[in-house]
Amino acid sequence: MSIRLLVKLRVALVQLNPQVGRLEQNIARTWSLLRKFQEKLQPAQTGEKMTTPTPDLMVFPEFALTGYSFHSKEHISSFVHKTKESPSFHFAQQVSKMFSCYTVIGYPERHEKEGKVLLYNSALVVSPKGELVFNYRKSFLYDTEYEWDCEENPNGFETFSLTFPGKGQTPTGDKIDVTLKTSIGICMDLSPYKFEAPFNLFEFASFNLENRSELMICPMAWLHSSSITKMDKYTEEEKLEKMAALEDNLKRQSLPIFGSQNDFQLDLDNSNTPRTMSRDGPDVDPTYGKLEEPDMTNVNYWILRFLPFIDLNIREEWYKQGIIKKLLSREQSDLLGSTYMGASARAAWEFANCNAILLLTNRCGVEDGTTVYAGSSGVYKFNGSMDPNESNIDSMNGSVALLGNLGKGKEGIILRDLEFDVTR
Ligand code: GLN
């Protein structure tokens, strides 16, 4: 017989603006942010017990301490390390000890195999005791990773277990340990493979749905739409013009073109993010301004990439007509697993009545004078609720709770208390 457990977790996402080549400064600034955070959790008088419990899990961005934009193997060579020798691992151990929490952090990994050196874009997980419990390598690579010969994760997407002592509650109110099925997706893992695969495969979300993930952790360096990408398609003159326009805009926000603002945002109040339509919403502003507010264009896009986890009325129709059964049994459906857009041959919606948590920690700031990151780190709960009229595929969808987002342009920390159900 299965029972429903109520899980209560406290999570913190740490949004950073690391700059390539400035590891020391990036680490020092992150500590000053973490100390500010710790002061907020502790009562003013020293020696007293913490009034507010520390987080159970802290998540940092992709390449959180090194900066993201590396352009060659030589460029990245002094920043890649074996997992346990990485400054990011030692940093994560200190964070785990300081807050008695799990720590997830993105870092550049150097791995030796059969006399060959392989480079990966990875995220490591450290337990509250400071032990390495998992290391995930990015599966889907983005443009810059090809510049430094990054390898794809040979295992593809993966799940692993994270145990939270005493964080589960039985229907009779007993507190018990709970082990959550967890996965990590690093940034481009959320996109269609090489931007070439069919959008509707939703590879990462479908993998998680089919493997019954309960906790999805995404360290990211996701770009804001004001970034200047694909530089090779512009003439020298156009390039300079575009970069000057970007610099002008940053000046208006009082931001240096390089470097970090050191103006921290601490969001500890459990307030939700207002829902905003992708299109025509008066609050959706695609320009890089209002740095303390989330970039709702990207928030909506991320929710869309988790479409298998959100309620959609059309699935009932597909189910009645047996469309999914036919689609999944077709020979050419090699690309598909056992679900398509959240539907399966067995159920209109595989995720109905389930819960899952998405923790998405993105970096912010600018690199190279061209790449603007979207920040907006956020906490989401997919609640598996159904409404026969639901057709929204963005933050207006009632089956996803927007438990809070940081702004698009500031370093900071968002702390949230989660409550969700798992079946055991
Ligand atoms: N799709 C992501 C973007 O456009 C990829 C970036 C990344 O993998 N860091 O921002």
List, for residues 257-284, the tens digit of each pLDDT value.
Answer: 765 567 899 999 999 999 998 766 656 6
Helices (H) and strands (E) in the chain, counts: 9, 17
Distance 72 CA to ligand 1 centre (A): 18
Pick from 66, 68, 186, 191 the residue to mutate for probing ligand 1's pocket: most ligand atoms within 8 Å of its CB: 191
pLDDT number for residue 242:
87
User: What's the total number of domains in the chain?
Assistant: 2
Q: 90 with 130, same domain?
A: yes
Atom of ligand 1 nearest to the CA of 188: 8
Q: What secondary structure does DSSP assign to 302-353, as a single string? A: HHHHTGGGS--THHHHHHHTTHHHHHHHSGGGGG--SEETTEESS-S-TTTT
pLDDT at position 46:
55
The tokens for 27 are: 């680490």
The residue out of 298, 329, 348 marking a domain boundary is 348
Closest to 64 (Cα-Cα) out of 123, 130, 134, 127: 123
* Ligand 1 centroid, distance to 361 Cα (angstroms): 13
Query: Do 39 and 102 have their domain in common?
Result: yes
**pLDDT at 392 (0 to 100):** 97
In a shared domain, residues 16 and 57: yes
Do 220 and 335 lie in one domain? The reply is: no
Q: Identify the pLDDT of residue 402.
A: 98
Domain's final residue, options 291, 323, 348:
348
Our mutation pick for probing the ligand 1 site, out of 193, 223, 367, 370, counting the most ligand atoms within 8 A of Cβ, is 223
Task: Write out pLDDT tens, residues 91-107.
Answer: 999 999 999 999 999 99
Rounded to the nearest 5°, which phi and psi values hold at 83? -45, -55
For ligand 1, atom 8, the nearest C-alpha belongs to 188
Atom of ligand 1 minimally distant from the CA of 186: 8
| Per-residue confidence (pLDDT) for residue 47, from 0 to 100 | 56
CATH of the domain at 259: 3.60.110.10
Domain range enclosing 325: 313-348
| Nearest alpha carbon to residue 176 among 165, 184, 187, 186 | 165
**Measuring from each residue's beta carbon to the nearest atom of ligand 1, which residues come in under 6 Å?**
62, 142, 187-188, 191, 221-223
Residue the block writes with tokens 């998540």: 59
Asked if 186 and 109 count as a contact pair (C-beta separation under 8 A), the reply is: no
Do 216 and 335 have their domain in common? Answer: no
At residue 232, the pLDDT reads: 73
Examine the domain organization and report whether 190 and 231 are in the same domain: yes
367 and 275 assigned to the same domain: yes
Residues 341 and 368 in one domain: no
Q: Give the three-state DSSP class for 146.
A: helix
Q: Establish how many alpha carbons lie within 13 A of residue 157's alpha carbon, considering only the half-sphere containing its beta carbon.
A: 26
What was the pLDDT predicted at 157? 98
Active site residue 187: yes
Distance 188 CA to ligand 1 centre (A): 5
Does one domain contain both 290 and 338? no
In this predicted structure, what is the pLDDT of residue 277? 85
The residues of the chain scoring below 70 in pLDDT are 43-52, 258-261, 279-284, 331-333
Catalytic residue among 150, 187, 218, 364: 187
Tokens 């481009």 belong to 188
Q: Same domain for 217 and 232?
A: yes
The pLDDT of residue 49 is 57
Look at residue 287 in the predicted model and tell me its pLDDT: 82
ipTM tops the 0.95 cut: yes
For ligand 1, pick from 16, 141, 142 the residue to mutate: most ligand atoms within 8 Å of CB. 142
Task: State in Å: Cα 370 to ligand 1 middle.
Answer: 14
206, 84: one domain: yes
For residues 380 and 331, membership in a common domain is answered with no
Q: Is 138 a catalytic residue?
A: yes
Q: Are strands 412-423 and 265-267 parallel, antiparallel or unpaired?
A: parallel
